[in-house]
Amino acid sequence: MSHSAASTSPGRFRWVICSLLFFSVAVNYIDRLVLAILKNDLSRDLGWTEADYGWITAAFSFAYAFGYLFGGRLMDRWGVKKGLPIFVLLWSCAATAHGLCGFIAVGHTFSMHLPWFSWAEKSVGWILLTMPMTAAGFMLARIALGLAEGGNFPGAIKVVAEWFPVKERALATGLFNAGTNVGAIICPIGVPWLYAHLGWQSTFYITGGAGFVWVIAWWLVYDSPEQARHLSAAERDYIREGQPPAEAVPTRMPWLPLLRHRAVWAYVIASILAGPAWGFYQFFVPDFLTKRFGLTTQAVGWWTGAFFALAAVGGIAGGWLAGWLLERGWTVNGARKISLLICAVAVVPVFFAPYAGTVWLAVAIVGLAGSAHQGWSANLFSVVSDTMPREAISSVVGLGGFTAYFTGGFVNGFTGEILQRTGSYVPVFAYFSGMYLLSLFALQLLVPRLGVATVRTS
């Protein structure tokens, strides 16, 4: 295909596929955040303590990390046409299962022994974990939800790699990733209304049921670019521009050959350093605003919604920037890395958020960082598709997601310890303000020039 033909899009059906991904991640986040919105009401009605809720959320975080890891592998093995709806179906069942916990008697308790490593004694001891049976039921539902939701993003990145040319991948990723913010905005608005009118059980049934609708839409619309009936030949050629042919790479990709590549380690390091920031924003920004400005719950909800709205803009803008540079003759290496650099620099001012004198200024500063994070993610995800064969993309994204969320579990724990001891968010914001630049330095050191690697399976 000539350059002039490639510069003008010959069709738009690939953006229909992108819209399906957008709604899948929106549903993903709604199902994930319902519990946080109803936390105080469920704690009151079901007799939970703060520790009970902590164990429930911890169970989701670690399950999600492993779901990300193995979800990516399964997505590469099954393919996205079959694999993605399977994961959505499973997490929708897990989301609705939260409502079934209402059939558990409130007064019953659950207890188990868990191993506990004593740093002082250098030995493994045991602690007794006791919680209401309702909390134990929610913990099991959250584990199932985390394991199933983990396959969503590796699958979505794989779809983008299959359906979009290199110059549009970051934009497509930013657009579908904006669904996370839409889901996070819808939750504080819609869930309280559902709870007030229908109760918490029906709230979980309804929000979980949205995933079943999405699965039907996916099966009716989606197919691979080679077989899609609604895709024109011209758009198919446009999509395939610059992509390696499917037969040029193996269909199965073992772990060991992947770990031999610097690009994989660069992605993992960036996931460890900067990846946990998004979990921090989700779980601690409302608390930061409450503590810093003494806001009511309703006010915190609106300002938190404003934060996620700002973050959505950044994801789209960051993806658009890389595509805009590519259209103007920049190399993939230059366009991707300058976009990452701009996002990394935009995060630095988050250090000053605890010193903001007004709530709108604090939200603007943190919102800029959240926006930059989404733009960073859109381009970092695209780095994987820039450097790895299509058959390995979901596996690598899954590995990075695992390290990000597993590390994030500990980062959130340390954040709680810092707040317990100092009552200040300054050290946490200072930490995240520099992690993106450090991640970019590691990427440049390990991968001076981006390019698709040849992965040997022997």
Tokens of 105: 């008697």
Q: What is the pLDDT of residue 266?
A: 92
Place of tokens 């800029």: 368
Helix (H) or strand (E) holding 127: strand 123-132
Distance CA 199, CA 103 (A): 13
Distance CA 269, CA 453 (A): 18
* All domains in the chain, ordered by first residue: 1-102+139-242 (1.20.1250.20), 244-458 (1.20.1250.20)
Q: What is the pLDDT of residue 423?
A: 80
Q: What is the pLDDT of residue 234?
A: 87
Task: Report residue 116: phi and psi, to 5°.
Answer: -140, 120
Positive or negative, the Cα torsion across 153, 156, 158, 164?
negative
Positive or negative, the Cα torsion across 400, 177, 341, 289?
negative
Rg, the chain, Cα only: 22
Burial of 440 (0-12, 13-18, 19+ CB in 10 A): buried
Which residues lie across from 125 on neighbouring strands? 116
Residues 6+ apart with CB under 8 A from 183: 25, 26, 27, 28, 29, 30, 32, 33
Q: Please name the amino acid found at residue 372.
A: A
Instruction: Decide if 346 contacts 372 (C-beta within 8 A).
Output: yes
Q: What is the pLDDT of residue 206?
A: 96
Whole-model pTM: value is 0.71
Burial of 297 (0-12, 13-18, 19+ CB in 10 A): exposed
Instruction: Decide if 170 contacts 322 (C-beta within 8 A).
Output: yes
Distance CA 326, CA 171 (A): 12
Average pLDDT, 10 consecutive residues per value, the chain (458 residues): 47 90 93 81 80 76 85 83 94 95 75 51 48 83 92 88 83 83 82 87 94 95 87 85 52 68 90 89 80 77 83 81 87 91 96 94 95 90 80 78 83 72 87 95 90 51
